[in-house]
Amino acid sequence: MNAPLDLIRPPEPSAAFEFNLLNAFQRDFPLISRPFAHLASQLATDEASVLACLRNLQQRGTISRVGAVFRPNSVGASALAALAVPAERLAEVAAYVSAQAEINHNYEREHHYNLWFVATAATLEHLHAVLHEIELACDCGAVLVLPMLEDFHIDLGFDLSAAGPHYREQTAPIVPEARTCSDGIAQLDSAEKSLLVALQNGLALVPQPFAQLGVDENDAIATITRWSEQGVIKRFGVIVRHHELGFNANAMVVWDVPDAVVSAVGRCIAASGRVTLCYRRPRLLPHWPYNLFCMIHGKDRSDVEARITALAEACGLDQYVHTTLFSQRRFKQRGAHYMNLAAAGVSTAHLAKLTKTNHG
């Protein structure tokens, strides 16, 4: 694996090209027939060079895909969950959890609840069934299930232009509107379901990727554009893997904030430019008293701790009980998969073709 900071201080023109491609197109990806040709025009190169570079970055693990980040609970159900696993069983239990198709992220964190994972499914009923099955199979006590109630900020975009990696700072103060997650999952028609399944693995790295999504190219572009305008898609672009780019430490920080002010506090955190994720989830007393969550990434543990201190000062968080759960091991990390082939009506042969094209 290349040293992460090679991308921050590129020693050669080829590394500078990688850096510019990664830094400039994590969002606002062109939704046109030949998007990589458009990227090439912005980078003073040719389409084939852009595609070759992206394939190489994907093979190295620097990027997970080029595609969509969907707003949670918009096209399927999702929840953060946790287990308290005996240390001697952690690897075994983590492997079982990661093997489930509905699990997207799975991390060891520093806490009594030491295994944290995100599950997604097409329906709430399917999601609950998967988590119940994990609870029975792992035999580590009850699964802590924490669905999102409000999202204040979900981005995971990183600015690589400084001497070390950092978040994309806001160019002006903002007061984002929180989105509640109680509006229900969108009812998708068969073409939209097919498109969703194809998008879950990212765009094919070919000249006309929107023509490879199982629906008419113009319809695919129009639907993705509509989803982006509606906020169903939070971000469309190059999805980087933070650890591989020098963010070697991260922590989930949780607070117990009175319900009357939790939304205002969440908006303050989101507007600070110091977090990648911020959302409200339910308390589950007596086991879990916290209702406001955020994720903070940094170059190392001390960097993350300094960011937490600065955030607490900026938003007056010291008055609230909190705890910090540093990540230890990353067992699984991929984009959300909300829908399987049967539910979408997509043939296995067709998806295999898409997958081959995407990595070819």
CATH, residue 126: 3.30.70.3460
64 lies in the same domain as 99: no
Residue 222 clears pLDDT 70, i.e. is over it: yes
243 lies in the same domain as 228: yes
Q: Are 115 and 108 spatial neighbours (Cβ–Cβ below 8 Å)? A: yes
Which residues share a beta bridge with 116? 82, 107
Here the tokens at position 35 are 């998007």
Residue 67 clears pLDDT 90, i.e. is over it: yes
Ranges of H-type helices in the chain:
13-24, 35-42, 47-60, 90-99, 124-138, 190-199, 217-230, 262-271, 301-315, 341-344, 348-359
Region 147-164: mean pLDDT is 69
291 lies in the same domain as 213: yes
Q: Give the separation between CA 133 and CA 254, rounded to whole angstroms.
A: 27
Per-residue confidence band for 342, with pLDDT thresholds at 50, 70 and 90: low
| Last-in-domain residue among 104, 129, 147 | 147
53 lies in the same domain as 100: no
Task: State whether residue 297 is helix, strand or coil.
Answer: strand
105 lies in the same domain as 171: no
81 lies in the same domain as 220: no
CA distances 42 to 39, 45, 59, 122, 131, Å, are 5, 8, 24, 38, 45
Average pLDDT over the chain reads 84
Say what the pLDDT of residue 168 is: 44
Write out the residue range of the structural domain in which residue 53 sits. 1-69+148-360
143 lies in the same domain as 169: no
Say what the pLDDT of residue 184 is: 66
- Specify the CATH number for the domain of residue 339: 1.10.10.2890
| Last-in-domain residue among 115, 131, 147 | 147
118 lies in the same domain as 182: no
Residue 178 clears pLDDT 80, i.e. is over it: no
Q: Give the separation between CA 220 and CA 92, rounded to whole angstroms.
A: 41
* Statement: the pTM of the whole predicted model exceeds 0.75: yes
195 lies in the same domain as 104: no
Task: State whether residue 337 is helix, strand or coil.
Answer: coil
139 lies in the same domain as 182: no
Region 283-288: mean pLDDT is 95
Q: How many other β-carbons are positioned within 10 Å of the β-carbon of residue 354?
A: 20
224-281 pLDDT tens trace:
999 999 989 988 999 888 766 667 889 999 999 999 999 999 999 999 888 888 999 9
245 lies in the same domain as 260: yes
Q: What is the 3-state secondary structure (H, E, C) of 301-331?
A: HHHHHHHHHHHHHHHCHHHCCEEEEEEEEEE
Q: How many domains does the chain have?
A: 2
299-337 pLDDT tens trace:
899 999 999 999 999 999 999 999 999 999 999 988 888
| Last-in-domain residue among 147, 169, 197 | 147
Q: Are 274 and 152 spatial neighbours (Cβ–Cβ below 8 Å)? A: no
302 lies in the same domain as 353: yes
